[in-house]
Structure 1
């Protein structure tokens, strides 16, 4: 769906723009119907399953069951979510909870392959934290340098390349010679990629891979408190940011314990902005098994 929608320039906000690309509009509609049908089948099956579980006074505790039960919590009757709302929530969590984390891990493996000094530093940190034993949640939270690398990857290659907001009322900006008024209803797009590479915010080497920036704090030494926005900001900041950090550490730790990474000769660096920031032709890496890789299990709760 992403590839189809971004194959040609879209006229966002232009009246009747869909009529200018009828074939693409139809293909996107058809794909959307397929996605909705798949999710509706899953939701309907879970509704039937959970109804049987309630009769046996049992209930699954995963995300979909929690969403289905949201209308009957704490003994109080509340409005249950409609099927359309459930489908939209599932889409959001699938996209926000899977693709973005996968992209962060992918860009990280590329950066570590291109910077073997940091690859060695993370592998050494893993040995210091847990030796060759399993990693639990407490140990994962102590991987400080891995956190620096995650933050720096999210700076250079934010999986969500822009943030959108709409002015709920007239907004007056006074940062300049004359005030600027943003009218109510204006849709604003914040270019996160450009901001994360802005030399005025990050210095002359803003395009370089420098995880040590984040040794000083979560903002990486940015010269503006809102210059670093990998998860958005305000009341709609990404609800899954802590889950992302844990999933990320688990996967990167497992890979580093098993393999030495190097960039494959055929790799061509071509990031592409769609709904997410993706490598146009994938990321080709050479993975060499580590001879000393014995106990590589990871335990998490």
Structure 2
């Protein structure tokens, strides 16, 4: 499907957008002629498009959906977020200077990312033999960090770890948890998501536009039973 879209783009336009830039890089990295080169070029294009779509679009869309659901289920927080928005933006669209002032909306987003992270597991491969306390991890072993389980662990987040309580982030991430490193919606360390600040800004803008124009509630038939 991706290659079909690419073909249509090549035939229709030479517009300088992100897809066009990927195509140019793929072409410049494959100077050899023949079938092998074409397969390699196609794989480069498909892999990059998948990564950009999942990391840059689907994760934000999933999070926005969860935020809307949780605000519908907790109308008091929906009202608080809307009141803050209308006070700061005065019925206008938020600009770059206003976004950091949306404290309540940011707390709601952070709590949503804690309860329902868009990425359930973070995979890593051990590049050398590691001893972690009493656990020996040999070189080459794949490690999967269960983000959702870690972010809802009562030992780290308290007895209300499974509840929607945005106020836990009132003083920032470092004060929300006994071990701040247990908050991993964007990963942690040198491989932390490079687009995390853009994603938060994007979510603030999207949700601000919706909150400023709509009030929403859950269907009486809705049954909340998420699973990982």
- The answer to whether TM tops 0.5 is yes
Corresponding residue for residue 22 of structure 2: 67
The answer as to 2:7 corresponding to 1:44 is yes
The answer as to 2:111 corresponding to 1:152 is yes
Corresponding residue for residue 268 of structure 1: 223
- The CA deviation at 1:220 is 4.9
The answer as to 2:80 corresponding to 1:92 is no
Is there any run of 5+ residues in structure 1 with no aligned partner, and where? Answer: 1-37, 54-58, 73-77, 274-301
SS of 1:260 mapped into structure 2: coil
Between Structure 1 and Structure 2, which shows a larger proportion of strand residues?
1
TM-score (norm 2): 0.86
Contact residue 26 and residue 41 of structure 2 kept, 8 A: no
1:252 is matched with which residue: 207, 210, 220? Answer: 207
Corresponding residue for residue 228 of structure 1: 183
The answer as to 2:164 corresponding to 1:209 is yes
CA distance in structure 2 between the partners assigned to 1:164 and 1:259 by the alignment: 38
Aligned residues: 219
Corresponding residue for residue 185 of structure 1: 140
Distance 1:129 1:110, change over 3 A: same
Corresponding residue for residue 36 of structure 2: none
CA distance in structure 1 between the partners assigned to 2:143 and 2:174 by the alignment: 23
Between Structure 1 and Structure 2, which shows a larger proportion of helix residues?
2
Q: Which has the larger radius of gyration?
A: 1
Corresponding residue for residue 35 of structure 2: none
Corresponding residue for residue 29 of structure 2: 79
CA distance in structure 1 between the partners assigned to 2:93 and 2:135 by the alignment: 56
CA distance in structure 2 between the partners assigned to 1:137 and 1:245 by the alignment: 12
SS of 2:170 mapped into structure 1: helix
- The CA deviation at 1:240 is 2.7
Corresponding residue for residue 112 of structure 1: 71
Corresponding residue for residue 130 of structure 1: 89
Contact residue 219 and residue 228 of structure 1 kept, 8 A: no
The answer as to 2:155 corresponding to 1:200 is yes
* Structure 1 segments (4+ residues) deviating >6 Å: none
Contact residue 3 and residue 46 of structure 2 kept, 8 A: yes
CA distance in structure 2 between the partners assigned to 1:42 and 1:236 by the alignment: 30
- The CA deviation at 1:199 is 0.8
SS of 1:263 mapped into structure 2: coil
Task: Give the alignment's Cα RMSD to 1 decimal.
Answer: 2.1
